[in-house]
Amino acid sequence: MALVNLAKWHGAGNDFLVEVIEHGTAPWWTPDRARAICDRSTGVGADGLLIATIGSEVAMELYNADGSTAEMSGNGVRCLAAAVRRVTNGQWSTLAVHTLAGVRTVTLTMHDDDHGDGSVDMGTVTLEGALEGTLGVANVGNPHVVLLDQAQWNDHDRELVADALASQVGGANVEFVRVEGADHLSLRVIERGVGWTRACGTGSCAVAAVAHEAGLCGTVVTVDNPGGALRVTLTGGGATLAGPVQFVANVEWLAA
């Protein structure tokens, strides 16, 4: 048995368990352990597990709730940066984080050590055309399929649609978007490896970029997620994501 110390954070309701370790620490997490701790009935419960490895640089490893790995999370990387700042008693406001999608620079304004706001340079949003029945497919370091939501669909209908579309691109987050105005979108998302989530940062960037390409919104967009609002700014083919970070609790997990 092992006693593991983590912290739980969320960004607009998108919740993560975060462990901060030092470079040179022997790898311990496995897909089975990640799946166990993220389970909302028999574990602690989270959309994902983040491991921050710190030293001369900071690296992020991300497990989805089902134990699979993910390239990037816009809400997650803000939470990870805030967790690193809190654990190390840091006073910095900007942190470069090495992810599987590349280096992402996080800027934080912490109101104290347990909540604040942050923005992330999300890099290039690559538009990859559209599948039939969708607005488009985009990659924000991870893949997304974006389509207009339909009032007549129930969640079971959406899940069937999402499964069919994601399978056509080898797995993807699927966003159901509503256009509220030229600078205002709302979405619901079924996240790859997680299911329904209360917020998705990369998804918010994807829907803003795809909707802008379709002439449905401008370049600065508020994206309402079920857990709260995120703000996306599109510039030169890239995106910046801004939103909240909130510490929830310290966690001691007794793992097999």
235 and 247 together in one domain: no
8 and 118 together in one domain: yes
CA distances from 149 to 100, 154, 185, 193 (A): 30, 10, 11, 21
- Domain carrying residue 206: 124-241
Given the DSSP bridges, would you call strands 173-181 and 143-148 parallel, antiparallel or unpaired? Answer: parallel
- Reported as a single tens digit per residue, the pLDDT across 59-116 is 999 999 999 999 999 999 999 999 999 999 999 999 999 999 999 999 999 998 899 9
180 and 128 together in one domain: yes
131 and 93 together in one domain: no
Structure tokens at 55: 């030293």
- Can you give the pLDDT at residue 255? 81
pTM of the model: 0.93
118 and 131 together in one domain: no
Structurally, how many domains does the chain consist of? 2
113 and 49 together in one domain: yes
Phi, psi of 126 (to 5 degrees): -95, 120
- Reported as a single tens digit per residue, the pLDDT across 147-194 is 999 999 999 999 999 999 999 999 999 999 999 999 999 999 999 999
